Structure 1
Amino acid sequence: MPNQDLKNDRFLRALKRQKVDRTPVWMMRQAGRYLPEYRASRAKAGGFMDLCRNAELCCEVTLQPLARYGLDAAILFSDILTIPDAMGLGLRFVEGEGPVFDRPLQTVADIRNIGIPDPEGELRYVMDAVSTIKSALNNSVPLIGFAGSPWTLATYMIEGQSSREFAKTKKMMFDEPEALDELLAKLSESVAIYLQAQIARGADAVMVFDTWGGALSPAAYQRFSLQPMELIVAKLKKFAPHIPVILFTKNGGQHLSKMADTGCDALGVDWTTDLRDARAKVGHRVALQGNLDPLCLLARPERIREQVARVLESFGPGEGHIFNLGHGILQQTPPEHAAAMIEAVHELSPRYHV
């Protein structure tokens, strides 16, 4: 059941497909570089990972978009690569290039040498951030915890950086699938433990970001992306059955029905899938989250409003929709354009919940 102490439980009610007065809204990457106050906090921290490791500053930036906008949820400020970093791969962020690992996984021996991080040990800084944010929210809105999916984490750990082709990872997938299975098993266990710890520290819902699952064939997706996420969902539901779990595979529209079979509570949907089609595929099994194209927020506010109306109409009447972008908000986004989107959701969505 939704947290009865929350002043605004609209997001949690929608995840459970319960009655709401309007469609709840939050944004992936809602605390980020598009906000001048975030840029100031990051400069104060000295660097991105310095910011992630400072519980007070994590709390500060998590709350910044809530002070600006009428959002229905906060999301922990962190990064999906905290787990691989804690495994000793030497994470650093290079300006203009993004994340880089100094010690990527190259052999089966490398995979066998990594351990499962302790959330209250190597990742204690994330847990302290969850507790600090949860306290500062003072039950105003729910707090979302998150992690990267095992497949997505594996791509960074094997490639050593961001990739478009995933050549090294797919070579392992085809040449040594058992080695990749072994890595994904470790990551599934790590992600499950990590999210359980976030829940124990106060997260009201958790989300698994499968950024690169859409790069796989259907058969490969089933084995190397979906099955590890299914294991995570099972462990989370055993640990805390009342906590909603959201799965999101970018470019994963063809997999939505199978994703709904995992036992999760909601699915993120990107802009390449119509919500009407997504709803037809999953029926009443899960809620749906999405799915405005983030680039829409570069357009004029009146155009943004038109596209918000289109997304709401696409889902249609009834419960179980959380309005969001189809992926993270872009740093070029004018903050007032994000405000236009949120205000349009507030104004236009009540008619779908009468």
Structure 2
Amino acid sequence: MTSDKSMNNEVKDLSDRFNDQILRAIRKEPVSHVPVWYMRQAGRSQPEYRELKKKYSLEEITQMPETCAWVTKLPVDQYNNDAAILYKDIMTPLPAMGVDVTIQKGIGPVIADPITSLDDVMKLTELQPEKDVDYVLETIKILRTQLSVPLISFSGAPFTLASYMIEGGPSKNYNKTKAMMYAQPEAWFALMNKLGDMVITYVKAQINAGAQVIQIFDSWVGALNQADYQEFVKPVMQRIFAALKPTGVPLIMFGVGARHLAADWHELDLDVVGLDWRYPIAEARRDGISKAVQGNLDPSVLLAPWQVIEDRARAILDQGMQQNGFIFNLGHGVFPEIQPETLRKLTSFVHEYSAEKLSR
């Protein structure tokens, strides 16, 4: 059993060698190198994780705090990344709200009883994090005693969560989701408000447990045009970020195919605008995105020969380093075919190349 004294010494040792480069970048302060982390860096392509998945499901791993902390920390140890992102899924809080969801291999989240009406929305219950997802909070607390880099935690955004809940699973066109927006606005806004309340409660609990950065994933909101986003989604996002801003914890926004929404994100009370691979950083800056930005190497490039990877990463770094406030990441998440060694090599390249450029 670890004594309080040895635990305090361990925590002090971590603070003495704490790597805060990503926090500096978020504040748009000078950095010694461009900080780097990868969405879905925990799990997916790591052989140690694949062995673990032979015994346990994603849901089971997230409910074992010591194991979940190990999975979260593994890419930091292996790749020397500048942040850890908590291993869990955006669906994690939904069962406590009464949503029957399972993560099915090769498919993703599948909802047994999709939402079709206002009555279905009103049946959703409130999340009580300390009771319903206590294992998430415990994992965060464990990691704060183990990590020497900031811990990022996250939540799905209302639109993306709603899309799964209405479609019953992943979708290519989101027809049912949009149909509810247009045909049942009362049900739609009731769902947005319920999910908005959940996100605020869920994120605040993660922050209270020790999360040092929060990323909001609105992965599929790019399916909406700007006018629909502004009418049907932006109000709840304004409420969420306004409620979270006073915590003082940095807030990142990310979605796929959402270039046309970047200006709306920039108006929200957040700190970092995440860009996917379709939106060059230099163009985002010219378009008026003056907050810190994160991105945005196409994950598919990581299957190319190393020289191609290096050339693409260098081009992104050269754009990102034009001003303070840049975090290197992928334009979406790591997928299973990407080799861990490639990610390790990419992190080293980003660190070494940016450090040399920034020292001039």
TM-score (norm: length of structure 2): 0.93
Cα distance, 1:94 vs. partner?
A: 1.9
Show the counterpart of 2:138.
128
* Partner amino acid, structure 2, of 1:96: G
Secondary structure, aligned partner of 2:54: helix
Partner SS, residue 214 of structure 2: strand
Alignment of 1:13-162 (within 5 A): 13-44=24-55, 46-137=56-147, 140-162=148-170
How far 1:337 sits from its partner (Å)?
1.3
CA distance, structure 2, for counterparts of residue 79 and residue 226 of structure 1: 23
- Residues 89-238 of structure 1 correspond to what in structure 2 (within 5 A)? 89-137=99-147, 140-238=148-246
- Of residues 329, 332, 336, the one that matches 1:331 is 336
**1:125 and 1:51 mapped to 2: Cα distance?**
10
Alignment of 1:335-346 (within 5 A): 335-346=340-351
In structure 1, the gaps of 5 or more residues are none
CA contact (8 A) 1:21 1:350 kept: yes
Structure 1 position 307 matched with structure 2 position 312: yes
Q: Which residue of 2 aligns with 1:276?
A: 282
- Contact kept? 1:15, 1:321, Cα under 8 Å: yes
Q: Using the alignment, how far apart are the partners of 1:212 and 1:225 within structure 2? A: 12
Alignment of 1:235-250 (within 5 A): 235-238=243-246, 240=247, 242-250=248-256
Change (3 A) 1:316 1:141: closer
The amino acid across from 1:58 in the alignment is C
Cα distance in 1 between the residues matched to 2:286 and 2:117: 43
RMSD value over aligned CA atoms? 1.6
Q: What letter is aligned with 1:297?
A: L
Contact 2:222-2:261 at 8 Å conserved across structures: no
Q: Which amino acid aligns with 1:267?
A: V
Q: Which residue of 2 aligns with 1:294?
A: 299
**Distance of aligned partners of 1:231 and 1:352 in 2 relative to their CA distance in 1, 3 Å threshold:** farther
1:330-351 superposed Cα distances (whole Å, 9 cap, x missing partner):
1110111112211210121124
Q: Is the 8 A contact 2:44 2:334 kept in 1?
A: no
How big is each residue's C-alpha offset from its partner over 1:119-150, in whole Å with a ceiling of 9 and x where there is no partner? Answer: 1111212111211222222xx00000100011
Residue 348 of structure 1, aligned match among 350, 353, 358 = 353
Cα pair distance change 1:282/1:115, threshold 3 Å? farther
Q: Deviations over 1:73-114 (max 9, x none)?
A: 001111001122221111112222221111221211010111
Q: In 2, Cα distance between the equivalents of 1:100 and 1:283?
A: 36
Q: Which amino acid in 2 is paired with 1:247?
A: M
CA distance in 1, matches of 2:211, 2:108: 27
Residue pair 1:149, 1:225 contacting (<8 A) in 2 also: no
Tell me: CA distance 1:76–1:16, structure 2 relative to 1, closer, same or farther (3 Å): same
8 Å CA contact retained: 1:269, 1:288? yes
SS in 2 for 1:322: strand
Q: TM-score, normalised by structure 1?
A: 0.94
**Unmatched 5+ stretches in structure 2:** 1-13
Q: 1:340 and 1:70 mapped to 2: Cα distance?
A: 10
Q: Is the 8 A contact 1:319 1:353 kept in 2?
A: no
Matched-pair contact (CA < 8 Å) for 2:282–2:319 = yes
